[in-house]
Structures are given as C-alpha cells and as structure tokens.
Amino acid sequence: MELRKTKGTSRRMLFGMVAVLGVATMGTGSAAARPLSVVAAENTWGDLAAQIAEPDMHVTSILVSPAVDPHLYAPTPDDARRVADATLVVANGAGYDAWMDHLVQASALPQARYVRADTWSGWHEGGNAHLWYDLNAVADFAQRFEKACEQADPAHASAYAARGQKLQADIARVQAQAAALRPHVQGMAVAATEPLFTPLANYLGLDMKENAFQIAIMNDVEPPPVAVATFEQDLKQKKLRLLAYNVQVEEPASKHLLDLAHNAGIPILPLAEIMPQNTHWQIWIGSTLTQVAHLLGVAQ
C-alpha cells in the first residue's frame, strides 16, 4: 500500500497560506457577472478539463512548470481570487495538492463544483496519489467532470457531452495500448526511485520492487539502510528490467541508483509529475507506454 507524500511546510508557506485564505474569503464580484471558468491545480488535470470544457468555459492551470514541486507549492493571492471566481475547480486530491482544498474551502464554491480525481471509487485513503498515471481513474474523472460542466452550464450540455465522448474514446485507445502491451511485459521486475510509476506499472502487470525505498523518498525521509542495500544489489545483479525516476525530484540517494542502473545497463525511464506543455494527456501517456515497450524490448 502506498502512503501519501507528507513533506514539511515552511514558516513562509504557512504565513502565505493564511494571507491567501484571507483574500479568497473576500470574493471578487457577483457570480452573475463572472465569465464561466475552470481552475485546475495542475496542468495534467487542466488539460483533460479543457478538452471537455473549452471553448464554453475557459480553463487555466495553476501549476504548469516542472520546476515546481506540487506537494510544497504555496498558493498566491491571485490563485485564491481565481478559485473564488471559478465556475468549477479540479484537482488531483489524495493529499497531493491539499493547498487547493484549502482554497476551495475558503471560497464560496459548492463542493459539487469541485471535481477531484481521488473521489473515484477505485481510490482509498492511503492509496497511491499519482492518479494521472492511473488510466481508470482518468476515465472516471473525465466522466464526472463532463457531468459537472453540464450541470453548471446546461445551455451547452450537448457540446460538453460531445467533447466528453471524444475524450473517452481517446482514453480508451490509451487503455487498449496498455492492454496490448501487458501480455508481453507482465511479471517483469521493475523499480522506481519513488512511486510515481506504480499506477501505470500495475496496469501493465509489472512486478514493482523496492517499495520501501520509494515510499521513504516520496515522504522525504531517509530510506531504511536495508532497503538501500537491497536496491543496490538488485541493480548490480541486474535483477531489474527497468528503473523509473522522477525528473522533478533530485535526491542524492536516487542519483546514486541511476548511476548504478546506467553502469549495469538497466534501462532508465524518466517520468514527471507536471505534464509537458503543448501536448495532451493521451499523447503524453501514450508516448510513455511506447517508451516502456521500447525499454523492455517489446515492439509496438
């Protein structure tokens, strides 16, 4: 079972949050005068939302740069104003972007208009928080967000439904790509520097190793010495077919493992928490699956 990331919060961030929440409670005008808009915590969910909502609702994402750690982000007064004025708000949830929960709570936004990926029935408290790599969670989010759009803006319900249907077809194609890859890679031993890759690895039937190390890195604590030793030995003895790592997190312990994997000739899979700009989720994840197949020696 995965644990949620619980990195510490600096005094600056705490004071910043208090100031932001104060701004959010002030509001910025009557709801009737506001244009329809959607605010997303991260661009990954923002992209999925935009594919359904636009052009009838304008979608903006708060986090778009891979240089920002979503777990430690300190929202600004401008973020609070945008959330307070939004028609809908979307987020990952699962403790991953708890700062958005605080902004929503401080605003007048009804909970029915706050769509989080973690309210999917397949996720439970303590589960893996990297839900954009969970293909079923994404499909469920898209369906619920479409319904939220239709309820918030009935005049364009048919347009939301049509765009939602198209997105679901794209998600289904990614699921089919993963399903086709699964028989060729199922049971292969892989590992990661933190559990970013786990939801997708589980979908592919891969045997994820080194979990104790991954959870420690995710929670910003020192990995147990026995976990480090096991990880090092498995790399040196080439017991792992693939090593995935988070390009947004630079940890000395992780860099050491990458060096060992490189020396052992074990393929390395770079992953990110923030989606590259100028693309779509289905293209991003589809290309990741293609890369996994290539690194594991499977032609697709």
Class for the domain spanning 11-174: alpha beta
Predicted local confidence at residue 300, as pLDDT = 62
Query: Which amino acid makes up residue 93?
Result: G
Looking at residues 185-205, what average pLDDT do you find? 97
Which homologous superfamily does the CATH classification assign to the domain defined by 177-295? Nitrogenase molybdenum iron protein domain (3.40.50.1980)
Tell me what pLDDT residue 71 has.
Answer: 79
Q: Is the pLDDT of residue 110 over 70?
A: yes
pLDDT at 193 over 50: yes
Q: What is the dihedral angle through the alpha carbons of 91, 94, 100, 106, rounded to the nearest 10 degrees? A: 120
* 264-278: pLDDT as tens digits: 999 999 999 999 989
3-class SS shares of the chain: helix, strand, coil, % to 5: 55, 10, 35
**DSSP line for 50-80:** HHHHTTTSEEEEEE--TTS-GGG----HHHH
What's the confidence (pLDDT) of residue 29?
Answer: 43
Q: What is the pLDDT of residues 86-96, one digit of tens each?
A: 999 999 999 99
Q: Say yes or no to pLDDT of 55 above 60.
A: yes
In the chain, the percentage of residues whose pLDDT exceeds 70 is 88
Q: Does the pLDDT of residue 113 top 90, yes or no?
A: yes
- Strand, coil or helix: what is 120? coil
Segments in 237-280 forming alpha helices (H)? 252-264
Ranking 15-24, 88-97, 107-116, 166-175 by mean pLDDT, the lowest is 15-24
CATH 3.40.50.1980 boundaries in the chain: 11-174, 177-295
CA distance linking residue 300 with residue 289, whole number of Å: 9
Q: Is the pLDDT of residue 27 over 50?
A: no
Which backbone phi and psi does 127 adopt, to 5 degrees? -75, 175
Q: CA 4, CA 26: separation in Å to the nearest integer?
A: 32
Q: How far apart are CA 30 and CA 113, in angstroms?
A: 17
